[in-house]
Structure 1
């Protein structure tokens, strides 16, 4: 936001492709328009040999106020626009902050709300403060509490859940509004907050679970139990039920509860606390899975890390992912690996490896080994020691190398080509933290000072990196609050790499409806039911290796066995699809 008569500064930086390569081509045209679309500044054939363009122009003393637009045309005649506001305003001299809990428990008797008022250079503000607290309800349950007191920097207010009628009116959120008036000037600044009411002491969050239940391999689910305020709930007794059996476990220090199920079919896993402080109408957390079908009962499972993968700007990220494997009547396997990221495939030189880079499918002999399973995490116990026919189970590691420019979502696919023609596959998606190909930072130093004082700042980065350092007066930020949010350059650049919601990388290859229709009616006389709508509906409870390729965005052309042969007709008729 600018005031009339100020100088507007413009910086233009263009990056190209997923590798964020610097663009140094000329800009044919850059111009600025007023809210009425009148051009007030223009530059033609702007030199961009350095990769970063700096421009500026002066606003008139009495300009048209409102939203101005800066337009940049590149060599492909594509126009990019960004807006700023011109308005006559007075910079605020101080800031007000409400310090309140994000959540409170419904049965808590009282809670505190803090208020602080400080000048932009750090000194406390003297005056008076008025706070209004509401239970956000209407009619007979509506309650508003107003309190006023003097303030000299910071103060606190006490409220009870009883006076806000939290329990009897089932209050879900408490709204807080604060007004601070400066002593002597009458200048006012405001702030607000919402306090959410939690009806239950605990909550579960799934941090990892196998997407599919694979034959002859355990199904793993990890959940974190936290208190209503987000802190980990350690050593809390929890009941876990799956495959017709239940077990009592205790959460770890970080609130994690790990569950392992051996049963070949796991419809759901239900987790609930054993103590009776959970007074909520919410159901226990449930983890569901789809069974994987393999004619030979063979399996591959990639155990991906929970949460986002850490990314350091300018450095490659190396992961060692454990892979569980099981097969019958075979002790050899040829493992292929492929890593993809939207919207393109990684180059062949940047592949996934097992310790050393794998130039192609590699075959080696398997030796049965114990899987890394803690007996305390099992719900239904270990499988038979000597099954018939014999089953070979093993574990190995895949090393994944991610460049710093990897997109926020990376997909990993591995598959084994068996001698009988079957393909056994698994795929996972890795969520990667956003970061750029180089690092830049401002070392710790003087961060604030009173008006008129000179402050020295420094910027450190790698050689040949294009960097920019912006300094904005804190008063200007306060004045612009609630007007127009402007994301950082890093947010804009990385958001452009994110696939659009609702758009897949490639058309799906899996169509259970048509496939099952053909399988059920193979050899019958009459119309192919896969082209008939309204009479029958077909589905499968299983997934197969083709689904793993489909999840990874890879098209499969093969004469090997990838599709399942388990289909069923749904009961009843459907009106269409």
Structure 2
């Protein structure tokens, strides 16, 4: 026989629940900015991207604040921009450098461009925000490191120059043409141009190359047996800097050369070993 269903059991089976509220889809806002701003630059273009989590474009309007982030962390807002988000989910605006002030570069060098952007979705009125401080005001579009380069050389043997190239925001500078030249100071004080190490066919290895996807480039030069010091010069497109003097370790008792800046040069600072 079937057991009758009690009221209490029946009531629990019909327990009421609150209606589930629908959640509007969220979206993400991103900025595409230049890696650096150079002296004499006229303007920079900024792209705003807004897409839903399911990768559909957001329609609406954007509002942007443009300023300069100081060394002390303070933000100086210079101007405001606004515009429409296109059907592609993209918006664009241009910053004219003169709008940052008459002496904008002198006042901003070494500091960062500050961007704060809000996108207001037209369908629901919801907003998404993003800020960016990745763009720096700099004199040079590249930064280089010599951590992989040994700070000495052996007379009569090849010497390898290893350079790591990056943009001011720290990202690796790939596919950049780099040329290296080296001058040796001989025992008699005369200067001599040093060429790339010779291949088996007698040709010198090229001293012009392109950085890889990690921003790295290597060169090998031949060092004469009567060479005391090497001065290395690296050239980029429209950019030239002298970056190092490498004294021969035979004269500094295998001590690492410490580099110090003298004007726009890097010079080796080492001491003669005691005997």
TM-score band, normalised by the shorter chain? 0.5 to 0.7
CA contact (8 A) 2:43 2:94 kept: yes
Structure 1 position 144, deviation (Å)? 1.5
CA contact (8 A) 1:133 1:145 kept: yes
Q: RMSD of the alignment, in Å?
A: 4.0
Structure 1 position 217, deviation (Å)? 3.0
Partner of 1:175: 114
Instruction: Name which of structure 1's ranges 244-253 and 152-161 shifts more when overlaid on structure 2.
Output: 244-253
Name whichever structure is richer in strand by fraction.
2
Structure 1 position 134, deviation (Å)? 0.8
What is the CA deviation profile of residues 442-474 of structure 1, one whole-angstrom value per residue up to 9, with x for unaligned ones? xxxxxxxxxxxxxxxxxxxxxxxxxxxxxxxxx
Structure 1 position 164, deviation (Å)? 2.2
2:40 to 87, 103, 107: 107
Q: How many residues align?
A: 206
Partner of 1:312: none
Match of 1:262, SS state, is coil
Structure 1 position 112, deviation (Å)? 0.8
CA contact (8 A) 1:137 1:143 kept: no
Partner of 2:12: none
The answer as to 2:193 corresponding to 1:247 is yes
Partner of 2:84: 150
Partner of 1:416: none
The answer as to 2:32 corresponding to 1:93 is no
Structure 1: distance between partners of 2:118 and 2:249: 58
The structure, 1 or 2, with the larger RCO (C-alpha pairs under 8 Å, 6+ apart) is 2
What is the CA deviation profile of residues 1-57 of structure 1, one whole-angstrom value per residue up to 9, with x for unaligned ones? xxxxxxxxxxxxxxxxxxxxxxxxxxxxxxxxxxxxxxxxxxxxxxxxxxxxxxxxx
Match of 1:162, SS state, is helix
Structure 2: distance between partners of 1:127 and 1:226: 36
TM-score, scaled to structure 1: 0.30
The answer as to 2:95 corresponding to 1:188 is no
Structure 1 position 227, deviation (Å)? 8.0
Partner of 1:414: none
1:122 to 55, 63, 84: 55
1:269 to 202, 206, 231: 231
Instruction: Name which of structure 1's ranges 213-222 and 160-169 shifts more when overlaid on structure 2.
Output: 213-222
Structure 2: distance between partners of 1:224 and 1:251: 15
Q: Counterparts of 1:154-553 in structure 2 under 5 Å? A: 154-165=90-101, 166-172=104-110, 173-194=112-133, 195-201=135-141, 203-206=143-146, 208-214=148-154, 216-223=156-163, 230-234=173-177, 239-243=181-185, 245=191, 247=193, 251-254=208-211, 257-263=219-225, 266-267=228-229, 269-273=231-235, 277-278=238-239, 284-286=242-244, 288=246, 291=249, 541-543=252-254
Q: For structure 2, which runs of at least 5 residues remain unmatched after alignment?
A: 1-22, 196-206, 212-216, 257-271
Match of 1:163, SS state, is helix
Structure 1: distance between partners of 2:165 and 2:245: 14
Structure 1 position 167, deviation (Å)? 2.4
Partner of 1:568: 274
Structure 1 position 269, deviation (Å)? 3.2
CA distance change for structure 1 residues 106 and 161 in 2, over 3 Å: closer, same or farther? same
What is the CA deviation profile of residues 276-323 of structure 1, one whole-angstrom value per residue up to 9, with x for unaligned ones? x448xxx63226466259xxxxxxxxxxxxxxxxxxxxxxxxxxxxxx
Match of 1:167, SS state, is helix
TM-score, scaled to structure 2: 0.58
What is the CA deviation profile of residues 340-388 of structure 1, one whole-angstrom value per residue up to 9, with x for unaligned ones? xxxxxxxxxxxxxxxxxxxxxxxxxxxxxxxxxxxxxxxxxxxxxxxxx
What is the CA deviation profile of residues 49-77 of structure 1, one whole-angstrom value per residue up to 9, with x for unaligned ones? xxxxxxxxxxxxxxxxxxxxxxxxxxxxx
CA distance change for structure 1 residues 243 and 220 in 2, over 3 Å: closer, same or farther? farther
CA contact (8 A) 1:221 1:287 kept: no
Structure 2: distance between partners of 1:106 and 1:253: 25
What is the CA deviation profile of residues 112-136 of structure 1, one whole-angstrom value per residue up to 9, with x for unaligned ones? 1100111100111122211111122
Structure 1 position 101, deviation (Å)? 1.8
What is the CA deviation profile of residues 77-108 of structure 1, one whole-angstrom value per residue up to 9, with x for unaligned ones? xxxxxxxxxxxxx8971111111122233322
Match of 1:135, SS state, is strand
CA distance change for structure 1 residues 128 and 285 in 2, over 3 Å: closer, same or farther? same
Structure 2: distance between partners of 1:291 and 1:272: 22
Q: For structure 1, which runs of at least 5 residues remain unmatched after alignment?
A: 1-89, 294-540, 548-565, 570-577
CA distance change for structure 1 residues 252 and 96 in 2, over 3 Å: closer, same or farther? same
Structure 1 position 188, deviation (Å)? 1.8
CA contact (8 A) 2:119 2:127 kept: yes
Structure 1 position 185, deviation (Å)? 2.8
